Chains A and B, each alone.
Chain A
Amino acid sequence: MRISMRMSRGSTPAAGRAATSGAKRGAERTRTAVETASQRTPGSAAPPRVRLVRTVACGGAALLLGTSLTACDSGSDASGAKEFHVLVYGDAGNTVEKQIVAEFNKTSKVKAVLDTIPGADYQTKLQTIINTPQAPDVFYNWGGGSIKPFVKAGLLMPLDDVFTNDPTIGDHFLPSVYNTAKIDGKAYGIPMRGTQPVLLFSNKKVLANAGVTQPKTWDELLASVKKLKAKGVTPIALGGGDKWPTMMWYEYLYDRIAGPGLFEKAVAGDKSAWSSPDSKKALSMVRQLVDAGAFGSNFDSVKWTGGGSAQLLASGKAGFELMGSWEYSTQKQASPGFAAKDLGYTTFPSVQGGKGDPNDLVGNTNNFYSVMKKTKQPAAVAKFLKLMYSEEFIKAQLSIGNLPTTTNTSTFLGTSSDPAYAKYQLDLVSKAPSFQISWDQTYPPSQMTPIYQAIQEFTDGKSDADGFIKAMQALDAS
């Protein structure tokens, strides 16, 4: 019961604040990515909240009395109604989800019920209900580390078991994306919503004023930093206050220097990866960039959430910003004139002598639907999930600015809110030899704070390379 009080106390302020933790962040990204078509749906706020409180209260009571949780079952299954629950993050993306659920229910005897968790604390709230009778049958997540604890706890159903009569389900999605929801070689997620690679955005006007062209290599980037600085602008806008924008620089540098293998090794538990020469080289290049004044000196007081760093770029006070593909729709909404005329985008520069392919991407590969082992309607769920590569789904997502990652997306690009940008992204994602899901989403959620701290302290110069390596080696990958 203490827990239930904490929950309601803890969640209220958090709901109102800008998203920060990885789970929240991913959701925030998705939200902003679809904001162009932002008819904010009146999310069904009460039912999940009430359910949550009941669940947690029952959990606390069970903890106290040592009784089984079943006594608290609300009996949704016992009522005899044939239905399954789909839990998603409650934001503007729900318009498409509502549409798909309605479409599914037209022809299905087993009805899908869409539940939304409003606010930014999706992951936290999910964790409190997932092991109770109130858990959904299907739920929204970020693949990778975000579902790893659930897989370890034996709560999720591998997709091989869901799609027993359609083992080729994975062929409908881009492999680089589909693979990020694989854990121990088994697939646990069907991509839904859209992909979000991280790109190097720029203010074309500022670059032209300083005589800078889009940098293709690291040395060109360093040279442009110098030129931009000489012009009195912050070379690169960085929302260090959110911490994850800083992390993106590390992710790309590690990839370009060592290739995706190094981080994969580290996440698999091989701690020597962090102390390898490649790791040290990446750190020295971060240092080089910071020391060159690339981010200015007050980046940790700037946030991307709330528009701080994006405004720097749009107002011409900065030349570049490394950000997820949602930057485009964000700028389009906040500064339409700038987005139409002066917003440039390109991939992260290559590093000379680096082992990583310059076509490699990092970011959020996608959002996913995962299926609970306890679902009583696996057949209906499988039927529902097949809609995630249907023509209707792809068109609906494109129309709100999302880029689905099905193999046939390219044939529908014309229906996108910005076909050229959608095509650019899709080309990148389909060609990428590797698409590294963000570090904070690859490690389990419990490791997010230590990752952020290690990155922030090294970037600020509060710790040195050894300090960073030690902090990353202390992470618990399991």
Chain B
Amino acid sequence: MTSAASPAGTTPAGPPPTAAPPAPPAGAVRARARRGARGAARPGILWALPAVVFFGLFALVPLVLVAVLSFTSWTGLGSPSFAGLANWTKLFHDPVMIQSLWLSVLLTGLGVLVQTPLSILIGVWAAGRQRGRAVLSAIFFIPLLLSVTAVSVLWRALLDPNFGVPAQAHWLFGDGNLLGSRTGAIGVLVFVSAWQYTPLHSLIYQGATRAIPAVLYQAAAIDGAGRIRQFLHVTLPQLRNAVVTSVILMIVGGLTTFDSVLILTEGGPGTDTTITAYYMYDKAFKSFDYGTGAAVALLLVVVATAISLVVVRLSGYDRMAGTQEGLS
């Protein structure tokens, strides 16, 4: 079908999908023109080659290798020996493994819950035209520019119970045993990642808010809606796709969080913050059990993919529905 290049359905003027194919070309000129048009719209498969090769080499091949490795026993010395399902059965009976999956989901969930409202408020505020907004936004953006490692080291020092912030604010922190207790350590991880990543998500919301047509607000104002009602009934619904984008980013980032756990808690106290990604590192690179490490990695891939698919499905992101329905 020649109409394949234009997205069906969005252009009312276009031929309906069931329309009969156009008559065969009568002359060479028309044929050439058509070929030209088709060439412009659909570049040859060769154009995709670099990306496909890159993806295959650095994503698919390693994934297959890891899958193979997960059925072997290997300490890094000598060559891997086939171990059958040993690593997998061990993992499924491993309380730390099961706990690590829950912890990953919990930390991700808490991250979404904390960061989403914050970044929406900040993003919407930053989209306005107040005085000094640009300067404040720039300052607020700084945490994102720092590396996770630096941020974690910084907070680790700031949260020292005897010489850091908790020592100055006993009424809030008690004895300051933040990283030495389960709730404290989880709280610190959620806080530090929110501190670092809220600016990024605010940026997404800022952009999305600016894209909302002013006419909607004018209409709402005419109907007598105040600022809060405008926010609730115009801004928030219009930000729907931005929320989905931002939440998916948070989920992907949350499930693969590693560096901050490594530096702030090392999976501790005990195994209280041993999330799956850290558990994988611990198995493979600290305990020299590459087979089990590979199995954990593969499990993480499966879980993360499944969760992403569910989110995409539930949010309607796959249908790519626009937020302009009220306008046309």
Contact = CB atoms under 8 A, between A and B. Distances in A.
Interface of A: 1-3, 5-7, 10, 12-14, 16-18, 20-21, 60, 63-64, 124, 127-128, 130-131, 149-150, 153, 155, 240-241, 243, 296-303, 306, 308, 311-312, 315, 317, 445-449, 452-453, 456-457, 460, 462
A64 B75 CA distance: 17
B180 A460 contact: yes
A296 B175 contact: yes
A2 B65 contact: yes
A21 B150 CA distance: 20
B74 to A, nearest CB: 9
A311 B162 contact: yes
Contacts of B163: 308, 311, 315
Given A17-B263, A127-B77, 4 more contacts: A13-B258, A128-B76, A311-B163, A449-B287
B177 A300 contact: yes
Contacts of A447: 287
B270 A306 contact: no
Contacts of A457: 269-270
B111 interface: no
A456 B270 contact: yes
Nearest to B156: A306
Interface stretch (B117-125, B247-255, B277-285): B277-285
B246 to A, nearest CB: 25
A10 B285 contact: yes
Contacts of A311: 162-163
Given A155-B77, A457-B270, A302 B287 contact: no
Given A63-B65, A300-B269, A6 B161 contact: no
A60 B294 CA distance: 14
Contact of B177 (A60, A130, A301, A303): A301
Interface string B79-108: 110000000000000000000000000000
Contacts of A60: 65
B270 A308 contact: no
B153 A16 contact: yes
A150 B77 contact: yes
Specify which of B259, B269, B282 lies most central, judged by the most chain A CB atoms within 10 Å of its CB: B269
Contacts of B80: 63
Contacts of A446: 75, 286-289
A301 B160 contact: yes
25 contacts: A2-B61, A2-B63, A3-B65, A12-B149, A13-B259, A17-B153, A17-B262, A63-B79, A131-B77, A149-B77, A153-B78, A241-B179, A243-B266, A299-B180, A302-B160, A306-B157, A311-B162, A315-B163, A446-B75, A446-B287, A449-B287, A457-B270, A460-B270, A462-B269, A462-B270
B176 interface: yes
Interface residues of B, number: 53
B178 interface: yes
B149 A149 contact: no
A146 to B, nearest CB: 12
A149 B150 CA distance: 34
Contacts of B180: 240-241, 298-301, 460
Specify which of A124, A315, A449 lies most central, judged by the most chain B CB atoms within 10 Å of its CB: A449
Contact of A127 (B76, B153, B162, B270): B76
B162 A312 contact: yes
B78 A131 contact: yes
Nearest to A17: B263
A357 B70 CA distance: 48
B76 to A, nearest CB: 5
A1 B62 contact: yes
Given A2-B65, A64-B65, A302 B286 contact: no
B177 A298 contact: yes
B65 A1 contact: yes
B171 interface: no
A435 B161 CA distance: 34
A135 to B, nearest CB: 11
B138 to A, nearest CB: 26
Interface string B108-151: 00000000000000000000000000000000000000001110
Nearest to A125: B285
A332 B319 CA distance: 66
Given A16-B153, A308-B163, A301 B78 contact: no
A460 B262 contact: no
Contacts of B270: 453, 456-457, 460, 462
B66 interface: yes
B284 to A, nearest CB: 7
B207 interface: no
Nearest to A129: B76
A456 B273 CA distance: 14
Contacts of A312: 162
A124 B285 contact: yes
A315 B168 CA distance: 16
Interface in B225-275: 258-259, 262-263, 266-271
B149 A16 contact: yes
B159 interface: yes
Given A127-B77, A460-B180, A298 B161 contact: yes
Contacts of A63: 65, 69, 79-80
Contact of B161 (A150, A301, A448): A301
Contacts of A317: 162
Nearest to A150: B77
Contact of A17 (B149, B177, B178, B285): B149
Given A1-B65, A17-B149, A298 B157 contact: no
A452 B286 CA distance: 12
A311 B271 CA distance: 27
Contact of A445 (B62, B259, B288): B288
A120 to B, nearest CB: 12
B176 A301 contact: yes
B263 A1 contact: no
Given A17-B263, A155-B77, A306-B156, A127 B179 contact: no
B288 A127 contact: yes
Contacts of A124: 285-286
Contacts of B157: 306
Nearest to B61: A1
A6 B153 CA distance: 22
Contact of B271 (A155, A301, A453): A453
B87 to A, nearest CB: 14
A5 B62 contact: yes
A452 B75 CA distance: 20
